Amino acid sequence: MSVPAIHSEPDAGPLRTHLADGRELLYFFDEGAGTERPGAAPADSRILSPRPQTPLMRYDPLLGEWVSYAEHRQTRTHLPPASECPLCPSGPERATEIPAHGYDVAVFENRFPAFGPGSGGSPDDSAAAAPAAGRCEVVAFAAEHDASFAGLSLERARTVMRAWVHRTAELSRIPGVAQVSIFENRGAEIGVTLHHPHGQIYAYPFATPRTLRQLESVQAYKEETGGELFADLLARELRDGSRIVARGKLWTAYVPYAARMPLEVHVVPHRNVPDLASLTDEEQDELSGLYLDVLRRIEGLYPTPTPYIAAWYQAPVQHAGRNSYRMHLQVTSPRRAENKLKYLAGSEAAMGAFIADVSPEETASRLRRVLPPFGIRTGGKA
């Protein structure tokens, strides 16, 4: 039985509805596009199986990390043809995960979540196991199956940004959610299971290991030098200049001094801000254009699409060092040449000791040459 559509929010926020199995679906609309905003969302006509139970996590005391075991993900859709894509709009002959016949940006709860659908308190590190509570969402960037984020208009990139900001704020309020992470996996080479342009959002029941490691470094640097690590790293990159890829008034993109991957770009704000939901409208606008600029530079390196992971690092919701954190983006790719990929082998995968094939300075130089400096073409609007 399909769930009736829910009317849109009065403040022109997302249009909310539910899929046939109870999962929430939100539509976000381009602003100023001249299209009429619908008053209600189409209902999901499918008959779906009940949602899976919340997975179980186990604690690894040797590394101090949680591992989720979501066995139902073995049955998730894997690289279907375009005619069977679950993220394309629904049509008269086929119902998909998105019941609308067309959309701008759609966000819905993942049918095969690694965390959730249950929510609750954060796990106790003294426990050996706990429910993998939380929430996993899919963000479809466009209705067109063959689109890419780099090919989106600036207006659409802003719509995606508004969706990320909205979901960060709302998911951070769910009881037991410790950190919200947004990412896009692009390309079969790094393991995507759907080619349709999309990303994901994970609302974790714990603070992720890499974020905690960064926070430990920030605190240690403060105690040792009295300075702010994120601010000083950015200042060093700006003084040197050789690794800068693009720079705006409020954001800078650069290849880090100790980049691990053949392609690695960090996009950082010019002030400490814990998460996307804390950005000003001006910061969101410039970030939308700068992010497009970075992805287009990456796309311009080779005649074929480059696989990448774009991960937004945000501060844990309740961490004591939250206000000293600086949310940022890290885009990485294993592509080290047109027909060569870097594989994480013994030293990297087993020991965590990276050996780089390309210097950060050379990577930054190549990316700079792809396009004119950011802001020259259209006043920073991409």
| Shared-domain flag, residues 61 and 202 | yes
Which residues have a catalytic role annotated? 198
**Whether the predicted pLDDT of 378 surpasses 70:** no
What pLDDT shows up at residue 1?
33
| Shared-domain flag, residues 94 and 199 | yes
| Shared-domain flag, residues 257 and 343 | yes
Q: What is the amino acid identity at position 5?
A: A
Residue where a domain terminates, one of 207, 226, 243: 207
Whether this model's pTM surpasses 0.75: yes
What pLDDT shows up at residue 40?
86
Token representation of residue 257: 């001094």
Count of domains for the chain: 2
N-term to C-term CA, the chain:
45
Taking CA 89 as the corner, what is the angle to CA 99 and CA 168, rounded to the nearest 5 degrees? 75
pLDDT (tens digit per residue) in 162-217: 999 999 999 999 999 999 999 999 999 998 999 999 999 999 999 999 999 999 99
| Shared-domain flag, residues 114 and 187 | yes
Find out whether 181 and 312 touch, Cβ atoms under 8 Å: yes
CA–CA gap between residue 239 and residue 198 (Å, rounded): 36
What pLDDT shows up at residue 7?
37
CA–CA gap between residue 41 and residue 102 (Å, rounded): 11
**Whether the predicted pLDDT of 50 surpasses 50:** yes
**Whether the predicted pLDDT of 52 surpasses 50:** yes
CA–CA gap between residue 118 and residue 134 (Å, rounded): 6
The dihedral through the CA atoms of 218, 220, 221, 227 has a sign that is positive
| Shared-domain flag, residues 244 and 327 | yes
Average pLDDT estimate for 328-354: 95
| Shared-domain flag, residues 186 and 314 | no
- Band of residue 12 on the pLDDT scale cut at 50, 70, 90: low
Domain limits at 258?
210-370
What pLDDT shows up at residue 135?
97
CA–CA gap between residue 257 and residue 241 (Å, rounded): 11
| Shared-domain flag, residues 294 and 148 | no
CATH of residue 93's domain is 3.30.428.10
| Shared-domain flag, residues 250 and 261 | yes
Residue where a domain terminates, one of 169, 185, 207: 207
